Structure 1
Amino acid sequence: MALVMTTASVPESERPAYWREAVGRALAPMAVTVRHGGPFEGRVCTERLGHLRITTIEADAQRVSRTAAHLAGATAAPAPAADHVVVGLQTAGTATLLQDGRRALVEEGDLMVYDTGRPYSLDFPERFAHRAVRMPRWALGVAEEDLRRVTGTAITGTEGFGALLANFLAPLTASVPPCAPAVAGRLAAGVVDLVATLVDERIRGDVTPAASQGEHLVLRVRDHIDRHLADPGLSPGSVAAAHHISVRYLHRLFEGEGVTVSRLIQQRRLERCARELRRAAVSAPPVSAVAQRWGFANPAHFSRVFRAAYGLSPREWREARDELVPAG
């Protein structure tokens, strides 16, 4: 259930203190300074998705700072704020992020990364909207030195891997879907995996060109297919879901690969089967067992596609193994 806190019904004189408490509860204890005079308005909404906390803030101009004093006062709660990393998506207005000696201007549509375990500040010079995805450091699994190379930086949300992450987070954080705990856990794990990949991309040389990002994603898809060949449910749909992209985009990625995703899955499965069937008779398992092991649930279908690929039935291939040249 979402927790919503708004200044709408709070007396004007009490709003700064109320807002400071609201932001502290949503993100972490920090100092809040309202930028301009006049009535201040703000709204913060916090929801949970597995082990993630997703917070949407819409408010007037302000500066928020988490100082060494705030860190010194942190307590060992079950999940203390000092043990989290935040990925922010700026959906309206601009922000200036300071952390680890770096200053970054974050524009609408950009991403930012900051660590609640070290001092940082965010300056919003005008009314803004900001979505923060807070995740436990243990879940991210990124080395401290690598994380420090990414915090305090702005990441464009219009190209490269930043665009992939921003496009995934935007609808998810706009309306966190009600779902069963198991589903929420898988979604949260997907978000964390994407963020860890983003960190890896950044430390390997900033944002690479979009074409290289596509090539990198193709390599990841091919590796995913090889690791899940035994799963009968492996399909373009499951592959796309595992990489948080649409099936249409997946097919577009493979337009220059000379093979469709479905065909690639079938080819790789057949190669694994052919390899096993070439083993010596003493150790080779039954043909049906080989087919099932590599994702072919229907023996008749397996025999048809194997003959089409190798010119022999699986049994003929096994019997002629001593005369065959291994498939290249």
Structure 2
Amino acid sequence: MVVVLDAQQVIPADRAEAIRETIWNTVVRVEIEHHPEPGRIAARGTITDIGRLNVCSISSNATTVRRTPRLASDDLPPSVFFGLQVSGSSMVVQGDRQAVLRPGDLALYDTSVPYTLVNKDGIHQHFFRIARSDLALPADAISLLTALRFSRDDPVVDLATTYLHRLVGHLRASALLVADAVSQPSIELLRAAITTRLPDPRMAREPLEATLEVRIMEYVRAHLADHDLTATRIAREHSISVRHLYATLARSGITLGDWIRVHRLEQCRKDLARPGMRSLTIASVAQRWGFGNASHFGRAFKEAYGMSPREWRERRQGDHEGGRR
């Protein structure tokens, strides 16, 4: 299910109610304080259910969102939100704690307990709602971490934010056809972000193992251009053996060397087609994406795409020039 919210498509007098109804029916019941002038109320975003994960990506000039004591006792199954700050800043208040979020920060809050989100400059966040039963963590463990700032200084949080940004980007680009396959790894990654902050390290072991493949592949994507991206380095960064690395990826049918080569070639193919990169030699483009040997790159490119890098670049250049006529 995908719901698009655009307040500009609603007459000013009805905007506040239309936003409230959409959020109440698809995300969570909250009270929202909007701009006092109805004509200046703005909200735009999408709400998507990915399997058992609810994703709300929103930009709005609303200033305060409250889950009141009355609303916190509604019939929504006990759930938690992870709020990912996209731009600007905001504050989460729950219980006797409050957290100020900057871009890239995460915060956790519990729907069964009243909370307030303060957004002086408006809302610019991605919200991820998960049923507490799907997190499979004790309620008292979750309560230790609500309304605290999860900073990207933590490597697991940094990985989670990178992954979540990419997930929302895929949702915007097209419908996600593998919702069930994406849902559980996403939940496990958020679970890992929680458990690594808990005082008992034993609680982190299971989610860290469950998210190992996701964490490995996010690391590989982030370092795809590095010439020293080897199995040994990747294994060392994740505190596992090379054998464990290969076994983990093999469960999903991934061969590490093939995956890296295919995705490096695809990045080269895109760069060679870009008009703004014509000043770069083909060897320089290959070098940018980890191919140290130009001859090897040329052979691999032709094998993958049926033409040489030069032929591909010239064809795309001709397409661009033909489009301008």
Which category describes the TM-score, using the shorter chain as reference length?
Answer: 0.5 to 0.7
Q: Deviations over 1:103-139 (max 9, x none)?
A: 1101111111111111111011113321111111111
**Distance apart, 1:160 and its partner CA:** 2.3
Aligned residue pair count: 234
Aligned partner of 1:90 among 74, 85, 92: 85
Q: Which amino acid aligns with 1:52?
A: L
What are the residue-to-residue correspondences of 1:230-309 with 2, within 5 Å?
A: 240-241=213-214, 243-247=216-220, 251=231, 252-254=233-235, 261-262=242-243
What are the residue-to-residue correspondences of 1:174-253 with 2, within 5 Å?
A: 174-176=169-171, 178-180=175-177, 183-204=178-199, 240-241=213-214, 243-247=216-220, 251=231, 252-253=233-234
2:126 corresponds to which residue? 131
Normalised by the length of structure 2, the TM-score is 0.63
Greater share of helix residues, 1 or 2? Answer: 2
Residues 145 and 66 from structure 1, CA distance in 2 versus in 1: closer, same or farther, beyond 3 angstroms? same
1:112 and 2:107 equivalent? Answer: yes
Q: Which amino acid aligns with 1:50?
A: G
Q: Distance in 1 between matches of 2:237 and 2:57?
A: 40
Q: Which amino acid aligns with 1:143?
A: P
For 2:71, what is the secondary structure of its paired residue?
A: helix
**Distance apart, 1:262 and its partner CA:** 4.8
Which runs of 5 or more residues in structure 2 are unaligned?
224-228, 248-325
- 8 Å CA contact 2:44, 2:60 repeated in 1: yes
**Distance apart, 1:154 and its partner CA:** 1.4
1:70 corresponds to which residue? 71
Q: Which amino acid aligns with 2:80?
A: V
Normalised by the length of structure 1, the TM-score is 0.62
RMSD of equivalent CA atoms? 3.3
1:52 corresponds to which residue? 53
1:144 and 2:139 equivalent? Answer: yes
**Distance apart, 1:54 and its partner CA:** 0.8
Q: Distance in 1 between matches of 2:169 and 2:115?
A: 25
Q: Deviations over 1:193-220 (max 9, x none)?
A: 11221211111289xxxxxx9xx99xx6
- 8 Å CA contact 2:63, 2:123 repeated in 1: no
Aligned partner of 1:121 among 92, 99, 116: 116
Aligned partner of 1:172 among 167, 170, 188: 167
**Distance apart, 1:155 and its partner CA:** 0.8
For 1:204, what is the secondary structure of its paired residue?
A: coil
Q: Distance in 2 between matches of 1:164 and 1:257?
A: 12
For 1:254, what is the secondary structure of its paired residue?
A: helix
For 2:197, what is the secondary structure of its paired residue?
A: helix
For 1:29, what is the secondary structure of its paired residue?
A: coil
1:26 corresponds to which residue? 26
1:157 corresponds to which residue? 152
For 2:9, what is the secondary structure of its paired residue?
A: coil
Q: Which has the larger radius of gyration?
A: 1
Which runs of 5 or more residues in structure 1 are unaligned?
207-212, 225-237, 267-328
For 2:196, what is the secondary structure of its paired residue?
A: helix
